Chain A
Amino acid sequence: MTRVLIVGAGPAGIRAAETCVKAGLHPVVVDEAKQAGGQIYRRPSIETNYGAKGRYGSEAAKAVALHRCFDQMVAKGQLTHLPHSSVTSIGQNNAQILTDDGIQCLRFERLILATGAGDRLLPIPGWQSAGVFSLGAMQIALKTQEAALGRRLVLAGTGPLLTLVAAQLIKAGADVLAVLDTAPMRQQLKGAWAMAMARPIVTLRGGYLRSVIGRRYHAGVNTLSIKTNKRGPTHLHWHDHKGQQHQTPCDAVGLGWHLMADTQLADLVGAQFEWSPEWSQWLPTIDKVGRIGKGVYLAGDGTRILGADAAECAGHIAASACLADMSLSPELNKRVLRRYARMRRFASGLATAFQLPQDLMKQLPGDTVVCRCEGVTVNDITKAAQRVGIEINRVKSQCRVGMGRCQGRYCQFAASQVLAGIGQTAPREVGRLRAQPPIRPVPISAVLNSECVKEQP
């Protein structure tokens, strides 16, 4: 039996693995990418023109250090790495893992989840079209393939990623026509103060990135909608903060409203959740070091959206807690704890600066697609809510919102906003979409050929 299973090999997962290895354990690390690094420090499959400096910019040294740390542990046989693999289901001490060779079952004593976060999406008319991508996707295409996902790009949403991706694309020579931030400037300045107090240099760097974007950047925009033809986007229509209408021609749109913690596995292992007004999302309840009890620990952006540096700290802290619970002496680094507290203050500032637009959802026409997987519209959700009320799991069973292939990743947030609007209440009153295994689509053949699935009662 594996003593410690770690899910995710981003900054949190890598530091958690390192902490376990230092204590003499041999953890198993499951990760969806071919090479460790996570979304933020994702690596191309073969070395390309950019090199680490071009790819990760000011964060290159951190990225390289993490990659090296992980690769060395693999080379020395100090851990078992299951790359290109997804945990599809997980129970108390047993995980089902979809690998390139089918499903494997793995028994474990303790579990560290470092599943990270993904783009948080709000629907806008036309977003179901080809040529509309998440901001994360735009960044992945740039980092790993040195490509833009179109020739004339418009980026919209809010959060640090919007500014970062826009600046990276512009520097790389892509044609970015407009960067539309739904957060009003007044709001951003409020948050920026807390950010600058906690991490002045990082905050300044954000200011510099804004200067790269220059006049393409607009704060406080609203009523976004994408006009499309058969091939994809042709224009993005939007209103500026003074209420004036604009049409920007484009052939690709990147969207994202900050990030959403990936909590499905935490849900399956029995984490409790609380609605966080600060982050406007449901987050797992953890103690100070990431414990949820019963030998399960959470670390990184899958718990709170604190970013990569904080995730490194959290991975170390959660693994140290795990080791302490196993009566193996961990060397918990006090400086890491202090650093972590500073990151939390910074992230709070970010959350304030880039709060969600309250009115964007209210302006949505009824035929706007909310669920991209199955084309469920605002009207469909409204009709379902009229029948069964606004509780999201019941609405899901009526109109299939949240039931498509992405398992609600990209629609649950919007659906709960729509439902809250209908009930004239807060999104927390709508409830939380329960995770259902398998959390990734599993080919039937992988199940049929799996010895361990057959053996299970």
Chain B
Amino acid sequence: MTGRLHRLTSTTRASVDFFFDGQPMQGLQGDTILMAVLSQTGALRQAEFGPEQRAGFCLMGACQDCWVWQEEGQRLRACSTEIRAGMRLRSTAGDGWLT
């Protein structure tokens, strides 16, 4: 599946490798997690209350549509967290994420 994001400038930013649901992916330095993931695929996660997928909505930390999780358990807002090399992200909460 191709990415949703359309980059409008050619960029000299370095690329950043990370994993999303086990798949290796690449974003650019300075990308938010949301940008990095959507540059490769169409959505961040499945909606819990409907059949549709979600890809963020406000991009300013207000709607909470963009939740993703680190494999270690921590929940992040993809629109307000910068991508870092080696991050292992997932679109669903792991077991015991409340801790």
Verify if A148 is at the interface (C-beta below 8 Å from B). Answer: yes
Q: How far is the CA of A136 from the CA of B62 in the complex (A)?
A: 11
Q: Smallest CB–CB gap between B89 and chain A, Å?
A: 16
Given contacts A32-B80, A147-B6, contact A443 B60 (CB under 8 A): no
Verify if A110 is at the interface (C-beta below 8 Å from B). Answer: no
- For the residues of B in contact with A, the DSSP-based class is loop
Cross-chain pair count, CB within 8 angstroms: 142
Q: How far is the CA of A133 from the CA of B5 in the complex (A)?
A: 12
Residue contact B61 to A136, C-beta cutoff 8 Å: no
Q: How far is the CA of A49 from the CA of B74 in the complex (A)?
A: 33
Residue contact B58 to A231, C-beta cutoff 8 Å: no
Verify if B59 is at the interface (C-beta below 8 Å from A). Answer: yes
Given contacts A119-B58, A133-B59, contact A149 B13 (CB under 8 A): no
- For the residues of A in contact with B, the DSSP-based class is loop
Q: How far is the CA of A355 from the CA of B2 in the complex (A)?
A: 38
- Chain A proximity mask over B27-56: 1 for CB below 8 Å, otherwise 0: 001111001001100111001111011111
* Chain B, residue nearest A373 (CB): B64
Given contacts A145-B35, A174-B8, A406-B63, contact A128 B50 (CB under 8 A): yes
Given contacts A232-B4, A443-B75, contact A137 B52 (CB under 8 A): no
Of the candidates B30, B55, B58, the one whose C-beta lies within 8 Å of that of A44 is B30
Residue contact B47 to A375, C-beta cutoff 8 Å: yes
Verify if A131 is at the interface (C-beta below 8 Å from B). Answer: yes
* Chain A, residue nearest B30 (CB): A46
Q: Which residues of chain B are within 8 angstroms of A130 by Cβ–Cβ distance?
A: 4, 42-44, 52-55
Residue contact B61 to A444, C-beta cutoff 8 Å: no
Q: How far is the CA of A137 from the CA of B98 in the complex (A)?
A: 29
Q: How far is the CA of A374 from the CA of B54 in the complex (A)?
A: 12
Residue contact A231 to B53, C-beta cutoff 8 Å: yes
Verify if B11 is at the interface (C-beta below 8 Å from A). Answer: yes
* Chain A, residue nearest B44 (CB): A130
* Chain A, residue nearest B55 (CB): A130
* Chain B, residue nearest A49 (CB): B9
Residue contact B82 to A45, C-beta cutoff 8 Å: yes
Q: Smallest CB–CB gap between B54 and chain A, Å?
A: 5
Residue contact B8 to A172, C-beta cutoff 8 Å: yes
Residue contact A444 to B98, C-beta cutoff 8 Å: yes
Residue contact A372 to B80, C-beta cutoff 8 Å: no
Q: Which residues of chain B are within 8 angstroms of A173 by Cβ–Cβ distance?
A: 8
Q: How far is the CA of A8 from the CA of B8 in the complex (A)?
A: 30
Q: How far is the CA of A39 from the CA of B39 in the complex (A)?
A: 23
Q: What is the number of residues of chain A that contact chain B, defined by CB distance less than 8 Å?
A: 55
Q: Smallest CB–CB gap between B26 and chain A, Å?
A: 15
* Chain A, residue nearest B65 (CB): A372
Of the candidates A119, A147, A373, A409, the one whose C-beta lies within 8 Å of that of B7 is A147
Q: Which residues of chain A are within 8 angstroms of B58 by Cβ–Cβ distance?
A: 118-119, 133-134, 136-137, 410
Verify if A129 is at the interface (C-beta below 8 Å from B). Answer: yes
* Chain B, residue nearest A116 (CB): B60
Q: Smallest CB–CB gap between B49 and chain A, Å?
A: 3
Q: How far is the CA of A57 from the CA of B75 in the complex (A)?
A: 36
Q: Which residues of chain B are within 8 angstroms of A32 by Cβ–Cβ distance?
A: 60-61, 80
- Chain B proximity mask over A169-180: 1 for CB below 8 Å, otherwise 0: 000111000000
Of the candidates B10, B29, B65, B98, the one whose C-beta lies within 8 Å of that of A46 is B29
Q: How far is the CA of A145 from the CA of B9 in the complex (A)?
A: 9
Q: Which residues of chain A are within 8 angstroms of B38 by Cβ–Cβ distance?
A: 149
Q: Which residues of chain B are within 8 angstroms of A251 by Cβ–Cβ distance?
A: 4
Residue contact B52 to A129, C-beta cutoff 8 Å: yes
Q: Which residues of chain A are within 8 angstroms of B42 by Cβ–Cβ distance?
A: 130-131, 231-232
**In residues 70-99 of chain B, which contact A (Cβ within 8 Å)?**
74-75, 79-80, 82, 98-99
**In residues 399-450 of chain A, which contact B (Cβ within 8 Å)?**
404-406, 409-410, 440-441, 443-445
Q: How far is the CA of A222 from the CA of B33 in the complex (A)?
A: 35
Residue contact A136 to B59, C-beta cutoff 8 Å: yes
Q: How far is the CA of A84 from the CA of B79 in the complex (A)?
A: 12
Given contacts A45-B82, A147-B35, A410-B63, contact A128 B9 (CB under 8 A): no
* Chain A, residue nearest B14 (CB): A46
Q: How far is the CA of A145 from the CA of B31 in the complex (A)?
A: 7
Residue contact B8 to A148, C-beta cutoff 8 Å: yes
Verify if A132 is at the interface (C-beta below 8 Å from B). Answer: yes
Residue contact B8 to A146, C-beta cutoff 8 Å: yes
Q: Which residues of chain A are within 8 angstroms of B11 by Cβ–Cβ distance?
A: 48-49, 146
13 contacts between A and B (CB under 8 A): A119-B58, A130-B54, A131-B4, A133-B55, A134-B59, A137-B56, A141-B35, A145-B32, A228-B52, A372-B57, A373-B49, A375-B47, A406-B64
5 A-B pairs with least C-beta separation: A375-B49, A405-B64, A137-B59, A130-B55, A46-B30
Binding site for A on B (CB under 8 A): 1, 4-11, 13, 29-32, 35, 38-39, 42-44, 47-50, 52-65, 74-75, 79-80, 82, 98-99
